[in-house]
Structure 1
Amino acid sequence: MSKIPFTGKSPQARQQQQVVSSDPLQPAEAYNPEHPLLEDPDALAIRLAESEDFLRRNKNVLLGLAAVVILAVAGAFGYYLWRSSQDEKGQAAMFRAVSYWEADSLQKAMKGDGRNLGLERVASEYSGTAAGNLANFYAGVAALKEGKYKEAVDFLEDFSSDDLLVQARAYALLGDAHLELNQPKEAADFYNKAANHNANEYFSPGYLLKEATARELAKDYDGAITAYDKILNDYPAAAEAGEAKQYKARDEAMAGK
């Protein structure tokens, strides 16, 4: 059997390297270097050569990936700046429309006055900005007042707010629009969402009373009773509690209870 020469790269030499400590006070058998590459110059040189070869062979791919990352970051930053500028323009464009809305000049508020944009165009042209989002709310209320209930639903469904009370109000307005469209079940569901979105003693009882009325129109007397019970149990001191008690008794009779 041939013998493997004993060299610096032989298994015997590497075995010795594993038990020889640079610290003379440390027992040889306990020596176990934490960073073998730093202890073995040959291994470190091989690893560096492999890394250089990998970079050389994949230079184009790595440069392409770096370019993609840079373009993505630049694009995101550019979009943020563009969106911020669009929001400022939208807020400015909406100023006159809101003035007409507050003065109850709903036609000008919605369509504009020939020089200034109306809420409809602000909501469309500045979609995705805070200004466009708020324009949807104003336009939804205006359409509801004008009796354009389907338009009101479309605008209000495109609106969302982090303000819990405002969002609850938007749900209630959607309930009003659906009720006018003779869709009592959908109306009741939105009133329920309004009542339970940041539930409170000031607005929730009124929304629950509307929900009960809508469920009665949908012939859902059990659902109406549930809404009345919530008023009586959760908000007994509310002004709506008296009506809830009276109408609950009537619905129980209608439901044969």
Structure 2
Amino acid sequence: MKIIDINSIPRKIIANSREKESLKKLNHSKKKWYILFFLIACMAAASWLWFLYRKPIKSLKAEDEAFQAVYHFEAGDFDKALKGDGVHKGLLEIIKAYPGTTTANLACFYTGIAYMHQKQYDEALAFLSRFKAKDFILQARAWSVMGDAHSEQKNHKQAAIYYMKAAHYKENSVYSPGYLIKAAIAFETDGQYKQAYDCYQEIIAKYPTSHYSSSLAIKESNRLSATLYL
């Protein structure tokens, strides 16, 4: 049997052989990664489809269970609204049981208002800050109540910030003037007289038909003007 001397093989052939082997390993490795990514994508898609399937069912169940809690809320029994009545879930349990649902989001709003009635301002702020809505009435209302909570805590600077957010969110002649009034009062209490004056001026300029513009805003604007330019 003839033994082939490796030194007799041209180096180019050896290099090509090694290169082919490296490419083969690289392609094999890439194939493994492609398969892994494909499996991950399939699992993610399956999870998403399951979520979409379960979400309406979960939302309907959350709505059913929240009915009694909202009833207690509207009746002014805020403790039962928050914690339940021993038979039905309270708002706090509904928020935990049905995260990501519209009902849980709205329950955060109700919970924040309930805590405000109980004068638990930190808790009210915590839940109202979790509430998100495109509805111009509820979202602005949530920010206004957060302003009220800060006002109760004597944090008038922060209160004014939330009142201004409420006033400028999808501005309208029905609610915005009232929020601007609250912002002006908070600004003035905090010693920010120019900002308070600007709030009244904004009401007069933007909402001339508002009853605030024809009475309170003009009166307070003139008062602050005299103070500012003495």
Question: Which TM-score applies when normalising by structure 1?
Answer: 0.74
Deviations 1:167-218 (A, max 9, x none): 1111111111111111111111111111110101111111111110111110
1:59 is displaced (CA, Å) by 4.3
For 2:139 and 2:103, the matched residues in 1 are separated by: 16
1:228 is displaced (CA, Å) by 0.4
For 1:124 and 1:66, the matched residues in 2 are separated by: 34
Aligned length: 205
1:166 is displaced (CA, Å) by 1.5
For 2:200 and 2:43, the matched residues in 1 are separated by: 58
Which residue of 2 is the match for residue 91 of structure 1?
63
For 1:194 and 1:248, the matched residues in 2 are separated by: 21
Q: Is the 1:150–1:181 contact (alpha carbons within 8 Å) kept by the matching residues of 2?
A: no
Choose the corresponding residue for 1:103, options 69, 72, 75: 75
1:67 is displaced (CA, Å) by 1.6
Matches within 5 A, 1:132-211: 132-211=104-183
Question: SS state of the match for residue 205, structure 2?
Answer: helix
Which residue of 1 is the match for residue 218 of structure 2?
245
For 2:38 and 2:193, the matched residues in 1 are separated by: 64
1:84 is displaced (CA, Å) by 3.6
Within the alignment, does 1:255 sit opposite 2:228 as a pair? yes
Identity %: 34
Unaligned runs of 5+ in 1: 1-52
Q: Which has the higher contact order (CA 8 A, sep 6+)?
A: 2
For 1:142 and 1:61, the matched residues in 2 are separated by: 53
Q: Is the 1:231–1:240 contact (alpha carbons within 8 Å) kept by the matching residues of 2?
A: yes
Q: Which moved more, 1:145-154 or 1:190-199?
A: 145-154
1:246 is displaced (CA, Å) by 1.0
Which residue of 2 is the match for residue 63 of structure 1?
35
Q: Specify whether residues 149 and 59 from structure 1 end up closer, same or farther in structure 2 by C-alpha distance, changes over 3 A only.
A: closer
Q: Is the 1:221–1:252 contact (alpha carbons within 8 Å) kept by the matching residues of 2?
A: no
Q: Is the 1:175–1:188 contact (alpha carbons within 8 Å) kept by the matching residues of 2?
A: yes
Question: SS state of the match for residue 190, structure 1?
Answer: helix
Question: SS state of the match for residue 174, structure 1?
Answer: helix
Which residue of 2 is the match for residue 118 of structure 1?
90
Unaligned runs of 5+ in 2: 1-23
Q: Which moved more, 1:165-174 or 1:57-66?
A: 57-66
Deviations 1:25-68 (A, max 9, x none): xxxxxxxxxxxxxxxxxxxxxxxxxxxx99x8454443333222
Which residue of 2 is the match for residue 220 of structure 1?
192
Question: Which TM-score applies when normalising by structure 2?
Answer: 0.82
- The structure having more radius of gyration, on CA atoms, is 1
Compute the RMSD of aligned alpha carbons.
2.0
Question: SS state of the match for residue 133, structure 2?
Answer: coil
Normalized per residue, the structure richer in helix is 2
Which residue of 2 is the match for residue 6 of structure 1?
none
For 2:209 and 2:37, the matched residues in 1 are separated by: 65
Question: SS state of the match for residue 252, structure 1?
Answer: helix
